């Protein structure tokens, strides 16, 4: 484990987003670093595709969760507005 120096402003944004995402500040920072690294290694993939790829690698089974998947929810909102 090491120490990474970041600006106070970035730390504050990590703190705010960690609360929304129910992660610790360190976990949120680590998630953002991992996603940034994966984005650089896979510039042709979208954020959603990277997440799907990561879930597949962990054998994540959505059917075991009590959640409803709403396809194209963002696209529908843009069309309505």
Does any domain span residue 30? yes
Which pLDDT score, from 0 to 100, does residue 64 have? 84
Nearest to 4 by CA among 33, 38, 44: 33
Residue 1 lies in a domain: no
What is the span of the domain harbouring residue 28? 8-80
Number of separate domains in the chain: 1
Residue 60 lies in a domain: yes
Question: pLDDT per residue over 43-75, tens digit each?
Answer: 999 999 999 899 888 888 878 888 777 787 565
Does a structural domain hold residue 3?
A: no
Q: Indicate whether 20 belongs to any domain.
A: yes
**Rounded Cα gap, residues 21 and 38, in angstroms:** 19
Assign 78 to helix, strand or coil.
helix
Average pLDDT of the residues in 23-51:
95
Mean pLDDT of the chain, nearest integer: 87
Q: Which residues contact 20 (CB under 8 A, 6 or more apart)?
A: none
Please indicate, yes or no, if residue 2 is contained in any of the structural domains: no
- Which pLDDT belongs to residue 35? 94
38 falls within a domain? yes
């Amino acid at each position: 484990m090491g120490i990474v120096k970041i600006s106070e402003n970035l730390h504050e944004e990590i703190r705010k987003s960690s609360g929304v995402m129910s992660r610790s500040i360190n976990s949120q920072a680590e998630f953002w670093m991992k996603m940034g690294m994966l984005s650089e290694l896979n510039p042709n993939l979208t954020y959603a595709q990277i997440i799907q790829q990561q879930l597949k690698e962990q054998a994540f089974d959505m059917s075991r969760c009590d959640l409803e998947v709403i396809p194209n929810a963002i696209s529908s909102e843009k069309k309505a507005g």
